[in-house]
Structures are given as C-alpha cells and as structure tokens.
Chain A
Amino acid sequence: MTTLLARFRLDYGDFKLDVDLKLPGTGITVLFGHSGSGKTTLLRCIAGLQHAPQGLLEINGQRWQDSEHGLFLPTYKRPLGYVFQEANLFPHLTVRGNLHYGLKRIKQNSGTVKLEQAVELLGIGHLLERLPGNLSGGERQRVAIARALALNPDILLMDEPLASLDFKRKQEILPFLSRLHQQLDIPVLYVTHSQQEVAQLADTLVIMEDGRALASGPLAETQSRLDVPLAQEREAATVWQVSVTEHETDYHLTRVEFAGGSLSLPAVDTTVGTALRVQIYARDVSIALEAPTATSILNVLPATVTGIADGRDSQSIIRLQVGDQALLAHITRKSALLLGLQIGMAVYVQIKGTSLLN
C-alpha cells in the first residue's frame, strides 16, 4: 500500500508552513482550512510548484524531495496529476489538444485507455473539438480533471477545484467527483474550505490552521476530535460510510450497516450493497443511560463515552464510540451533569435525524 510522507518547513515572514504528515495511499484525503491556513501552499510544495527550503517528500516509496541531500525533483518529472482552482486549460488548444498535451509527453502507452475512461467518467465526450473559451466553468473544470487523470498519475492533487464555481455548477460536478472516488485506485489530495465537500468526499481529513496540521486521520475520527474547532461549530457533524443491507418497503425505509452496527434511513432508491455516506449532526444526537423502551426514535444504538468538552454557551460536546465509528453529540451542560457522564461510561445514543450525502 502506498503512503505519502510529507514534511515541509518554509518561512515567508508573515506566513509559515510547518507540517509533518503521513497520509494513506488510497482514497481522498481532504486538506481543510480557512484561506491563509497553508493548505494550498502545502499542495503546491507536494507538486513541486513551490520549493520549500526544508522538505522531505516520499510517495510510493519514491523520494521527490529531500532537502538534506539536495534532492528536488522538478514538477515535470513528478508522476502526478494536478487540478487548479481555475481550470487553467491551454486557451490555444481544443479540449482534445488539452487532453493529449500531457499524454504525448509520457512514455508508457497505457495512456489512451485511461484517457477514454476519464472522458467517459467526466462526461466530456461531446466537447472534444471545442476551445476552452467556449466552455462553461463547470465544463472547463471537468476537462481539467480528465486532463490530469489521463496521465495515469501516481497521485492526484486538486486545489479547490469547485471554489470558482457557483452553487449549481458545484452540484453538477460533485457527483463526478464521487464517482471518481469509487472508481479510482490512486490517492487523491483535495484542498477545500467547504465543509460540504469534506462531508461528501473525504476519507481522510487533515485540518490546517496557521500553516500547521492541527489534526489528521480518518474522517469521522478527525471530525469528532474535541481539540479542534470543528467539533465546536453549530454545524458540527460526523460522516459515516455505510452500505445498504435491505429495503423495508412497507415503511419506506432502508437499512444500512456500518462497522459495528446498523441504521434505518428514509428509503433510498439503490441496490443492496451500495456504499453511502450518512451525515449525522451533533445537535441531532441525544444520550440516555438506559436503553429507551418506548421512544419514537428508530436509531438507538449502544455507545461508549470517549470524550467530554465544553461547547458554546450552555453546551457540552460529547464524543462517543458506536461500534467502530466515532460520533459527536451536542447536549446541554445541565443534561451532561444530571446524567453524570464520564469517559468510559456505556450509554445509548438516539439519532433523531440523518442526512444522506450521495
């Protein structure tokens, strides 16, 4: 299995980057943070577009940078794919010309198969003879993604690929990215400041702030960390990856399972076995000490308290473990006190609502 080792340090005076990350070699890793947090700089350092004076970068066991030994592979020698915030297509070449630009420059011949796949996956077959100037923002970005994928890269780097698009265009591209996610076997590093994109795409989450990585790890685990500001927010949530096990057609419900338990959702029109993402807002989770016998809430699950922290105003933030999944609950501080919640306690969580992400 591939892993990515990235250690960078640079100092521009008013901006510093100081990270030491080990990231998985599969799935989508989202670098999340506000503007100025250093997430794009980190991505550019990984691509070699920016040269961090101190850096160690290893992908697939191959060193791309090792400043102690004076090694810095220029960008054009790194087997990567890069998608810029503005699609950054070559205006003088047609879509086809753009797609073939990189292909002509790689030695292996497997390229054309990958290109056809990418064109298919992103639905741009009808655009091939057009010039970038005649494409919509969403189309341009899809071409840019296909152009990067066509190279069959070892890693795909995406710098806020949706940030310059309006809401409608975003909704148009997100499904393509989700499909990418299911069909690609290369690791993706995805920079964004959008919580929605985190929820929809991330397998691994890295939270950046002031040029540092505050936290990194599997999505739900990192989302529910009490020491990062994310858990404090009103919109705090955890995302679970589940798969469909059965449809209860009489009740218009779908049953899904996750690592260590199962949930009922409003009916989802997909086949059994389909992978889904379910988002559970912390404010929709309540806690009981004993299994509630008479409740209208369907999703009652045994859980263990793994963390307690003060939230805003009257709130307490409770971190729980449900099966193998982490979960956040926002309850009042008074309730937490009355229940006598402590780390390690066995409790029951009632999940009032879930939202499906794909």
Chain B
Amino acid sequence: MLNASDLGALYLTFKVASIATLLLLLLGTPLAWWLARTRSHWKGVINAVVALPLVLPPTVLGFYLLVLMGPAGVVGKFTSSLGFGTLPFTFTGLIVASVLYSLPFVVQPLQAAFTSIGEQPLEAAATLRAGPLDTFFSVVVPLAKPGFLTAGILGFTHTVGEFGVVLMVGGNIPDRTRVVSVQIYNHVEALEYTQAHWLAGILVLFSFSVLLVLYTVLKTQPVAHPLK
C-alpha cells in the first residue's frame, strides 16, 4: 500500500497541478484572447513560442529554466534582488516551470474556442450597450465554456504527468518538490515495484477517467491543440 511519502507526493502533485491550472487559466485567457483577435505580425512568433513545450524534450525546457532562475541567471538575479532568493528546488520554482510546460495545453484550446466564436456575437453585444469587458464575461465566456473546460482539464492532467522538467527544476525534495512521477522513479530505482505499481496505477486511472469525461460527456474533439 501507499506509505507516508507516497501520500505526500500525491498531495504535492495535486497541489502543484491545481495552482498551476488556476494560474494557467488566469494568464492563458488574455493571451489566447489576444492571439485569437490580433492581426499583429507578432502573432506567429508568439504562437510558436507558446507551442514550444509541445515539441521540446522537457529536459531542455527544464535545463534553460534552471539556468535562468539560478543564481547567475537573469531571473535568478532579479528574484534575489527582490529578496526572494532563487527559485530552483523550491515549490514556487516548480509552479513556474509547470505553468510554462503546460501553457500550450491551455492556450490552444482557448484560442480555438475564441476564434470559433467569431466577430458576430461581439458586434451584437456592442449594439446592445455591452462594453468590451462586459461582452467578454457575458458572451465570450459562456460561448467558450467547452474551451475553458478542455483547457482546464488538459492543463491539470498534463501538469500531473510532468517529469523531466520537475526533475531538472524541482529536484527530488520530499514534500516540497517530489511529485508522484518522481516518486515512481525513486521506487523503480529502489526496485520497489509494488509501490511503483500503486502510484502508476493511480495515475493511469486518474488520467483515463478525466480524458473519458472530456471526450464523452463534454464531446470535445480529440484535436486538443490545433496548430493554426
């Protein structure tokens, strides 16, 4: 069965995923909105940057984050000067890495949902006295609800499943940065296959249930990230 450090890893994993998903929706929504609406030349560049974590090995992303957030990195110097110290091997660092790692899984479904709404409902709202922010919350959010659900679920599950980035940026500190995927790795290294089975099984069951809900109840198309 699960021991205390397994439970700690599970708890930590879901805590990281919850916070990261919340942050992802907060940051990803305006970014996706901008990408869906802009005619700027930067659109292509930003789209490419957002999609990078889809194709890069997580270790590459983790490596650069480690360097950037470390004592000699730009971000590290900045956080040190603010008195926060450096972020690698901390819970905050883990959150930052998770947000970047799962960004495309949140931004792309949202962007697709916003694009498919089109101009017409926005114009109708404007002729009915709704200002831009009002229109966003009273028309865009309800119409893009499936997009938000997909984005939230994919962001959450993808964060739960991360390994490479965590190992690079978070390390392997119990109850601070040791998430389930790392814990499974530890068990396997120590030839504790029973323990590994339990945790791995939980992750499979969890991920499958969530995706099942996504594709049957919510009837989302399996194309989670149409690269437009």
* A residues in contact (CB < 8 Å) with B: 47-49, 74-77, 80-82, 84, 86, 88-92, 101-102, 105-106, 147-148, 151
Contacts and interface: CB of A to CB of B under 8 A. Distances in A.
Nearest to B126: A75
A75 B120 contact: no
B130 interface: yes
Given A90-B139, A92-B139, 18 more contacts: A74-B131, A76-B127, A76-B130, A76-B131, A76-B135, A77-B129, A80-B127, A82-B127, A84-B123, A84-B124, A86-B120, A88-B121, A90-B124, A90-B143, A91-B143, A101-B130, A102-B128, A105-B128
A92 B123 contact: no
A48 B138 CA distance: 21
Interface of B: 120-121, 123-132, 134-135, 138-139, 142-143
Contacts of A84: 120, 123-124
A77 B138 CA distance: 17
A88 B123 contact: yes
A295 B90 CA distance: 105
Contacts of B124: 82, 84, 88-90
Q: Name which of A47, A48, A75, A91 has the most chain B CB atoms within 10 A of its CB.
A: A75
A151 B129 contact: yes
A128 B223 CA distance: 37
Name, among B124, B128, B131, B134, the residue most crowded by chain A CB atoms within 10 Å (CB to CB). Answer: B128
Nearest to B134: A105
A102 B143 CA distance: 18
24 contacts: A48-B126, A49-B126, A49-B127, A74-B126, A74-B131, A75-B123, A76-B128, A76-B130, A76-B132, A77-B129, A80-B127, A82-B123, A82-B127, A84-B120, A84-B123, A86-B120, A90-B124, A90-B125, A90-B139, A90-B143, A91-B143, A101-B128, A102-B129, A151-B129
A90 B129 contact: no
B126 A105 contact: no
B120 A92 contact: no
B120 A88 contact: yes
Contacts of B128: 76, 101-102, 105, 147, 151
Contacts of B129: 76-77, 102, 105-106, 151
Nearest to A93: B142
A157 to B, nearest CB: 8
Contacts of B123: 49, 75, 82, 84, 88
Contacts of A89: 124
A101 B135 CA distance: 11
Nearest to A49: B123
Contacts of A102: 127-130
Contacts of A77: 129
B162 to A, nearest CB: 34
Nearest to A81: B127
A77 B142 CA distance: 23
Nearest to A106: B129
Which 10 pairs of residues, A with B, have the shortest CB-CB distance? Answer: A102-B128, A82-B127, A75-B126, A105-B129, A92-B142, A88-B124, A76-B126, A88-B120, A76-B131, A76-B129
A55 B143 CA distance: 34
A92 B138 CA distance: 10
B135 to A, nearest CB: 8
B126 to A, nearest CB: 4
A75 B127 contact: yes
B63 to A, nearest CB: 45
A74 B129 CA distance: 10
Contacts of B143: 90-92
A48 B126 CA distance: 9
Contact of A47 (B125, B127, B132, B138): B127
Contacts of A86: 120
A151 B125 CA distance: 13
A136 to B, nearest CB: 19
A105 B124 CA distance: 13
Contacts of A48: 126
Contacts of B135: 76
A106 B130 CA distance: 9
A261 to B, nearest CB: 43
A101 B138 contact: yes
A135 to B, nearest CB: 15
A25 to B, nearest CB: 20
Contacts of A74: 126, 131
A77 to B, nearest CB: 8
A122 B125 CA distance: 21
